[in-house]
Amino acid sequence: MDLGIRGRRAIVCAASKGLGRGCADALAEAGVDLVINARGAEALEAAAAELRAAHGVEVIAVPGDITNELDRAKVIGAAPNADILVNNAGGPPPGIWSDWSREDFIKALDANMLTPIAMMQALLPGMCERGWGRVVNITSQSVKSPIPALGLSNSARAGLTGFVAGTSRQVAPMGVIINNLLPGIHDTDRATSLDTGVSKAEGLTIEDARAKREATIPARRYGTPHEFGAACAFLCSELSGFIVGQNILIDGGAFNATF
């Protein structure tokens, strides 16, 4: 399928590994030039080199913490007229509701709500002026179905979801399309770290912790960054213009609901 976005430019945040990397791969495969970002410069440069070699697109690597205003400005400065924006950052740590301080909440809100909003505020005006744009926010299944240990994530991502619900309908008339992708469990470092937490808490091996989680998913496995990236590239494509402000679960059927 021709996604119709060859030659467009995308910013993909938090993209040296995991789901962000999956999105960068799929966009590069569709012929999109990229600005990619992550904190660790070495892994980021390695990802950029692999993307260039595999897909022949231009890839600019901008190291930095996307939740930090100055680093964010560098990322935006590398492609101020980006046509496509994929918002992503690491998720907040697990814990228990009674322990979180105001500072913990501010940090989570900064990373998983205010950072993607700031990225949109910077890039949406240009997209609207040019009459075309695509934004995908990587959020979480926790938006639909709270994960008890991830209350910081549940809270911050709910705020972002509210912002997108209204804003997506305000910019759609200008040809700018915003949607959220809600990952269930995917095979990334984040999943390994969550499984490590479960294995320690429940006295299981990591393999048993993973098998226990897989058994709760109708697809009986974790998702892959490759599959996730393909869905992201479709939402960033020419063909997604009638999908506005949606929250699309990619979770192997884990969320048990009729619709």
Q: Which residue has the tokens 């046509």?
A: 83
Q: State how beta strands 133-138 and 247-250 pair.
A: unpaired
Contacts of 192 (CB under 8 A, 6+ apart): 206
Dmax over CA atoms of the chain, in Å, equals 56
Binding of ligand NAP at residue 17 (CB under 6 A)?
yes
- Span 77-96, contacts to ligand NAP by CB under 6 A: 88-91
Residues 6+ apart with CB under 8 A from 190: 18, 90, 91
Contact between 186 and ligand NAP by CB under 6 A: the answer reads yes
Scanning 12-20, 50-58, 158-166, 237-245 for contacts with ligand NAP by CB under 6 A, the matching segment is 12-20
Least distance from ligand NAP to the Cβ atom of residue 147, Å: 8
Among 38, 57, 76, 178, binds ligand NAP (CB under 6 A): 38
Q: Does 252 bind ligand NAP (CB under 6 A)?
A: no
40 binds ligand NAP (CB under 6 A): yes
Catalogue the long-range contacts made by 163-168 (C-beta closer than 8 Å, 24 or more residues apart). 163/113, 163/117, 164/137, 164/245, 165/245, 167/120, 167/124, 168/244, 168/245
R_g over Cα of the chain: 18
Q: Is 48 in the site for ligand NAP (CB under 6 A)?
A: no
Rounded to the nearest 5 degrees, what angle is found at the Cα of 34, between the Cα atoms of 161 and 60? 120
Taking the least distance from each CB to ligand NAP, the nearer of 16 and 154 is 16
Stretch that binds ligand NAP, among 11-19, 48-56, 129-137, 199-207 (CB under 6 A): 11-19
Question: Could you give the count of Cα atoms lying within 13 Å of 199 in the half-sphere of its Cβ?
Answer: 14
Q: Which is nearer to ligand NAP, 66 or 178 (CB)?
A: 66
Query: Does residue 188 touch ligand NAP according to CB under 6 A?
Result: yes
Among 29, 31, 43, 93, binds ligand NAP (CB under 6 A): 43
Query: What residues line the site for ligand NAP (CB under 6 A)?
Result: 14-20, 37-40, 43, 65-67, 88-91, 138, 140-141, 183, 185-186, 188-191
